[in-house]
Structure 1
Amino acid sequence: MIECKKEAITKEIVDAWMNQWETFRQSIHQSHSARDGNAKEIMLKAIQLYESFVVSASVGHDVFQENEQYEILPINAVERLSFIKTRPGQYACYRQLDELFLETKKRCARLRLKL
């Protein structure tokens, strides 16, 4: 298991990350509501944001690796992220990514107490 770096999951860092997600989330939601076809492009950027946070908060990796277990990830996160990546333009994938962000934020809070 790839361990988490406590200094990388401070409340301030996680809140800044979640603020970035919130910007993407609003844009994706608006795109789905308008059915303008831009949701997929925004989702790809949001997926990159998610993966880059996981990597930056983990010890010893520069690139997200789906075959690894990260301490920071919630249950079934790799499988769920794989599903999201196969269909990033679908509304269900947007909802799933939103849940992953929220669950990862909660996981960070638990890890801060533990570490």
Structure 2
Amino acid sequence: MIAVNKQLISQQAVDEWYVNWNALREQIHAAHEARNGQAEPFMHQGIEHFLQFLMIASEVEGYDTQASYELLPLNGGERLAFIRANPAQYASYRQLDELYKETKKRCARLRLQI
């Protein structure tokens, strides 16, 4: 398992990461509501944003699909694989949003552990 560096998931760092996601999430949601097929580029940005945080917090150079990350919630790797394979689907957007929420909660739990 690839451990997270707890100093890199401070409340401030996670809050900034999540604020950025909220702004992007609104764009993705609006694109899906408009049904104009423009959500995919925003989804790619959201996926990249999520992976960047995961890699920084885990202190790794790149995302390994076969690795287990302490920071990822239950079935996070499988869910991320689905999202990456189907970025234009609304279901992927919902999964990515849930993955962000659950990862934010997981960060809080990990910070509390000794």
Q: Normalization by structure 2: what TM-score?
A: 0.97
Shift of 1:38: 1.2
- Structure 1, residues 37-79: CA drift from partner, whole Å, max 9, x if none? 11001000100000010000013x1111111001111010000
**Separation of aligned partners in 1, 2:88 and 2:24:** 13
SS at match of 1:16: helix
- Poorly superposed stretches of 4+, deviation over 6 Å: none
Shift of 1:6: 0.9
Structural RMSD (CA):
0.7
- Unaligned residue ranges in structure 2 (runs of 5+): none
Matches within 5 A, 1:9-24: 9-24=9-24
- The yes-or-no answer on 1:72 pairing with 2:65 is no
Kindly, what percent of the aligned residue pairs are identical?
46
**Separation of aligned partners in 2, 1:3 and 1:85:** 23
Letter in structure 2 aligned against 1:103: E
Query: How many residues in Structure 1 have an aligned counterpart in Structure 2?
Result: 114
Corresponding residue for 2:98?
99
Shift of 1:27: 0.1
